[in-house]
Amino acid sequence: MDLSLSEEQVMIQDMARKFADSELAPVAADLDAGNDQQLFQENLAKLAELGFMGLNISSEYGGVEAGSVAFSLAITELARACASTAVTTSVTNMVAEVIQAVGNEEQKQQYLPKICSGEYKAGGFCLTEAVAGSDPAGMKTTAVKDGDDYVINGSKIFITSGTFAGVFVVWAVTDPDARKGKGISCFIVEAGTEGMVIGKSEDKMGQKASPTNEVYFENCRVPASAMLGQENKGFAIAVGELAGGRIGIGSLALGVGLAAMDYARQYLTERQQFGQPLANFQGLQWKLADRYTDLEAARLLLMQAACNKEQGLEFSQAASMAKLFASEKANQACYDALQMMGGAGYIKEYPLERYARDVRITSIYEGTSEIQKVIIARELLKAVQ
């Protein structure tokens, strides 16, 4: 068993770390405060120039073909500095991978180079609805065939990068009479398409620099050529891409958790109580030991899932396990890191309160922890039926 990284993977990890340290970390607090959305988008453009918006995309379409392991490593490093930038990068890669996986050659040639180069700024993944969150098969958005077009009506919620994404992949019901989950199709919709309206950015608890929007479709007409994959086969596309997305969100959680523990660890060596550094107290040492052990286990689970995906093996269960464990343990790491810093961890002069806010959503989006357990149990039981 060889757990070492390839030369290319190390290079991408180092590049992501250097970018995070030089470009993201110095401005993360300001971006969190909502002070500079333009700078946020400029950083995304720089990441695109470096190849981070097409990490697992063929070079034929402008990607770097680095693979899923490199993707996981990159998202972790970006999240150490700015979770908002990391989630936007992760979702944009998801959108590109959807198009590469099921798009026809014309669609790949038309959209992938613009995503990878940053021309589209970001990609939007339009699946969740007010009545269809953990149960996406229950969506109500429809796409009705009208001549050579489809007319989309409905709305999506919690869409990352809604305000500035240049292209969206959108799921809608195309056969309302089909069994649940069997009559759903997927479409590519470019920003600015008539009938697609972007709602206000949500006022979120964390990851504030990354806008999250409701997207409305009001007689939004798209050509039949905008359909991704086969008609009424779109739900399987969503399920497959969500599994890959869970590697991204688990990696993001890991990055935030590591950032929190690294900061707290340094603080413990500098802060003194009872005439000695906090680092001398066994109770705090044990917290450090426990949390770093958790995060290392999360890293290994993520590497397993990413490696399986990269090799074309079944990875859904592994991705759910990795996402569940990484997000829950990262939440605990941020909570314990804040606790170890006492009152200092609660004020904005230090980054711990931001880490705690940013990490909280990782156990919710791309499938809640509860849904991950459902998926894991289902896969386990399949093996004995």
Asked whether 371 and 134 are in contact (CB, 8 A), the reply is: yes
Compute the distance between CA of residue 52 and CA of residue 46 in angstroms, rounded to an integer: 9
Q: Where are the beta strands (DSSP E) in the chain?
A: 123-126, 142-146, 149-160, 167-173, 184-190, 196-201, 212-223, 227-228, 272-273, 276-277
At 9, phi and psi to the nearest 5?
A: -65, -40
Of the candidates 316, 270, 321, 268, which has an alpha carbon nearest to the alpha carbon of residue 292? 268
DSSP state of 132: B
| Residues with Cβ within 8 Å of residue 353, at least 6 apart in sequence | 338, 345, 346, 347
Q: Angle formed by the axes of helices 282-310 and 68-81, to 10°?
A: 150
Q: How far apart are CA 174 and CA 185, in angstroms?
A: 6
User: Does residue 42 carry a catalytic annotation?
Assistant: no
CA count, 13 A, side-chain hemisphere, 30:
11
- Catalytic member of 77, 106, 366, 379: 366
CB 257 within 8 A of CB 306: no
Using the CB atoms, write b or e for 270-302: b if 16+ within 10 Å: eeeeeeeebbeeeebeebbeebbebbeebbebb
Mind telling me the catalytic residues?
366
